[in-house]
């Protein structure tokens, strides 16, 4: 499978982007059309503790309780579309645990589609348990658990047994992004996520796309959940004091260059909901993106709850544990929360007011924090342009994304559009200085980082990335 790098923007201007429409819409499942003029709710869930004890119990939890509850509620309230997302629990790495779930969810979607005409589909997101240490990230590294081999096996199990959309949250670069975020080292993040993480994405997604094509499954996309989301949630809100929000905003921009790689390898979208970098990736590739924000408070509290809806194609709750609530089961309650928000977006589209609603979503969070500021679609577009300009070089485009994001925040602060604490400003200035001081040569960058982080990050091993 060949890799085609993005060197041009899919959209001619930022204003062209809006929720519900993508340049390259995707159809799958039972009547689902993503990015084709309508936003679709995507409901994600976690089974109750103990349901993993045996295959029958796990399948019953996912199919007879969770999926049935969601589809029943969607019909009850009159939602025309719903997408389910099953993020596999680790036990599903065993085929006998996974297959009944995948088959069962497919069957129940078909049943409700035939009975009520509801458009529905299931995204299966498999676990990436690869470890950068003794286990290794690539096949043939002979780790005790053989996790790389298990990753591709899980992809086959998902696709062969009925997944409509396939996704993963891969772990490439995590050993460096963990170090980077806990030590405030943006160069380590650039090296781990922007560079090595992108190389790992290419390694796994070329194979995933092959597996998906063979089984007529839609290859959705990936996200840097383990890196940029870790930074974002550690940066937290106004009472948190672990990681600077200017740092996390820049890591988000760097992560967008990594996320793009799945699509460059032939995946078609929609990408993953927890990839908050979606507006940047969509601006470059024009492929549909899933997002989350205000209606994922069951799982995440972030500082851009409205803004993230601005250009989404699927709107997600991130994840909720299955349990009873006053209004029904938790999945039913959160589908209601999602579905009504989506209904508002689709009403805006139907009445020609979509750009107005998009802008209100965006403006309400534009100044709430630096991460929302860089993800505001006009700024996201500028970061996209910086990536596309250096599109053929994984290092230079990631660095360009980081520098552009940092400078946008700095300019926004100087223009009094986004307030920053003194500490946030100090960190921002250092980030710009550190990124600009790096060499323009990819080889020299690798040589510098390889030497530096071999000492500082015990789990770092260049063999994991084919060096």
Partner 1 sequence: MVSHKGVDYTKILKRYDVEAQNETTPESVAKKMLPSDPTLKKVAETVLYMKFKDVGPAVTEALKTVKPLSVINDGLVVGMECVAKLYAEHIYYLPEIMMAAKTMEIGIAIAEKQIPGGRETKGLVVMHAAEGDPHDIGKNIAAVMMRSSGYSVIDMGKDVAVTDVVAEVVKSKPMLITGTALMTTTMTAFPHAAEQLRGKGINTPFMAAGGAVNRDFAESFDLGIYSEKAPQTPPIADKIKAGYDWRKIREEWDNIVGGA
Q: Which residues bind partner 1 (CB under 8 A)?
A: 15, 46-52, 89-91, 93, 127-131, 133, 145, 171, 174, 178, 181-185, 226, 230, 234, 237-239, 241-245, 321, 355-356, 359-360, 362-368, 419-423
Alpha-carbon span 160 to 331, nearest angstrom: 27
Give the C-alpha separation, 30 to 348, whole Å.
Answer: 25
First CA to last CA distance, the chain: 21
CB of 360 to partner 1, least distance (A): 7
Rounded-to-10 torsion of CA 305, 88, 126, 340 = -30
Nearest CB to partner 1, comparing residues 63 and 400 = 63
Alpha carbon distance 316, 382 (integer Å)? 25
Which residue, 18 or 267, is less far from partner 1 as judged by CB?
A: 18
Closest CA to 320 of 332, 307, 328: 332
Give me the phi and psi of 168, to 5 degrees please: -145, 155
Q: Is 307 within 8 Å of 350 (Cβ atoms)?
A: no
Q: Which is nearer to partner 1, 367 or 461 (CB)?
A: 367
Min dist. Cβ of residue 445 to partner 1 (A): 22
Return the exposure string of 283-296: e unless at least 16 CB atoms fall within 10 Å of the residue's CB, then b. bbbbbbbbbbbbbb
* Cβ(287)–Cβ(271) below 8 Å: yes
Shortest distance, CB of residue 403 to partner 1, whole angstroms? 20
Write down the least CB distance from residue 254 to partner 1, Å.
Answer: 17
Q: Minimum CB separation from partner 1 for residue 40, in Å? A: 25
Closest CA to 462 of 141, 186, 129: 141
- DSSP one-letter string for 377-399: HHHHHHHHHHHHHTTT-HHHHHH
Backbone angles phi, psi at 323, to 5 degrees: -165, 165
Of 128 and 277, which CB lies nearer to partner 1 in the complex structure?
A: 128
Cβ nearer to partner 1, comparing 188 with 314: 188
**Cβ-based nearer residue to partner 1, 178 or 202:** 178
**Whose CA is closest to 331, among 31, 34, 48?**
48
Q: Looking at beta carbons only, is 58 or 120 nearer to partner 1?
A: 58
Taking CA atoms, 309 is separated from 15, 40, 206, 421, in Å, by 15, 12, 30, 27
Which C-beta is closer to partner 1: that of 111 or that of 355? 355
Q: Which residue has the tokens 């604490």?
A: 421
Q: Least distance to partner 1 from the beta carbon of 197, Å?
A: 15
Minimum separation from the CB atom of position 82 to partner 1 (A): 22
Q: Do residues 258 and 194 make contact, with C-beta atoms less than 8 angstroms apart? A: yes
* Residues 6+ away with beta carbon under 8 Å from 185: 179
Nearer to partner 1, 41 or 127 (CB): 127
CB of 245 to partner 1, least distance (A): 8
Write down the least CB distance from residue 13 to partner 1, Å.
Answer: 10
- State the minimum distance, in angstroms, from the CB of residue 49 to partner 1: 5
Q: How far is CA 123 from CA 197, 230, 377, in A?
A: 23, 23, 26
Q: Which of 83, 79, 168 is nearest to 117 (CA)?
A: 79
Closer residue to partner 1, CB minimum distance, 237 or 324: 237
The nearer residue to partner 1, 213 or 355, going by C-beta atoms, is 355
**CB of 242 within 8 A of CB of 235?**
yes
């Amino acid at each position: 499978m060949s890799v085609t790098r993005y060197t041009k923007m899919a959209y001619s201007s930022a204003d062209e982007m809006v929720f519900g429409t993508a340049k390259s819409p995707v159809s799958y499942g039972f009547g689902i059309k993503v990015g084709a003029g309508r936003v679709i709710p995507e409901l994600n869930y976690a089974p109750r503790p103990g349901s993993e004890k045996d295959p029958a119990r796990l399948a019953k939890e996912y199919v007879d309780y969770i999926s049935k509850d969601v589809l029943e509620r969607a019909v009850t309230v009159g939602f025309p579309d719903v997408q389910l997302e099953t993020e596999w629990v680790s036990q599903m790495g065993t085929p006998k645990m996974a297959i009944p779930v995948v088959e069962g969810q497919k069957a129940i979607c078909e049943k409700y589609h035939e009975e009520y005409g509801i458009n529905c589909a299931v995204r299966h997101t498999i676990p990436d348990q690869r470890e950068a240490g003794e286990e290794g990230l690539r096949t043939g590294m002979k780790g005790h658990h053989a996790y790389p081999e298990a990753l591709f096996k899980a992809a086959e199990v998902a696709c062969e047994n009925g997944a409509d959309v396939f996704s993963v949250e891969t772990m490439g670069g995590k050993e460096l992004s963990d170090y980077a975020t806990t030590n405030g080292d943006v160069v380590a993040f650039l090296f781990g996520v922007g560079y090595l993480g992108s190389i790992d994405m290419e390694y796994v997604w070329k194979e995933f796309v092959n597996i998906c094509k063979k089984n007529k499954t839609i290859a959705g996309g990936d996200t840097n959940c383990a890196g940029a989301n870790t930074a974002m949630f550690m940066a937290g809100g106004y009472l948190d004091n672990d990681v600077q929000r200017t740092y996390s905003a820049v890591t988000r921009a760097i992560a967008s260059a990594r996320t793009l790689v799945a699509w460059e390898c032939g995946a078609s979208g929609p990408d993953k909901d927890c990839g908050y970098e979606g507006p940047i990736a969509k601006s470059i590739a024009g492929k549909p993106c899933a997002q989350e924000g205000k209606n994922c408070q069951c799982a995440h509290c972030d500082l851009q709850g409205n803004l993230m809806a601005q250009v989404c194609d699927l709107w997600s709750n991130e994840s909720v544990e299955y349990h009873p609530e006053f209004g029904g089961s938790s999945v039913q309650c959160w589908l209601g929360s999602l579905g009504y928000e989506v209904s508002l977006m689709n009403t805006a589209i139907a009445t020609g007011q979509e750009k107005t609603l998009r802008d209100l979503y965006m403006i309400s969070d534009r100044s709430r924090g630096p991460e929302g500021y860089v993800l505001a679609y006009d700024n996201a577009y500028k970061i996209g342009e910086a990536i596309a300009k250096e599109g053929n070089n994984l290092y230079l485009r990631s660095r360009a994304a980081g520098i552009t994001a940092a400078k946008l925040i700095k300019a926004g602060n100087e223009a009094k559009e986004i307030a920053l604490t003194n500490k946030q400003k100090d960190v921002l200035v250092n980030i710009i200085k550190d990124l600009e001081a790096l060499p323009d040569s990819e080889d020299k960058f690798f040589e510098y980082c390889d030497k530096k982080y071999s000492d500082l990050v015990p789990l770092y091993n260049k063999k994991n990335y084919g060096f």
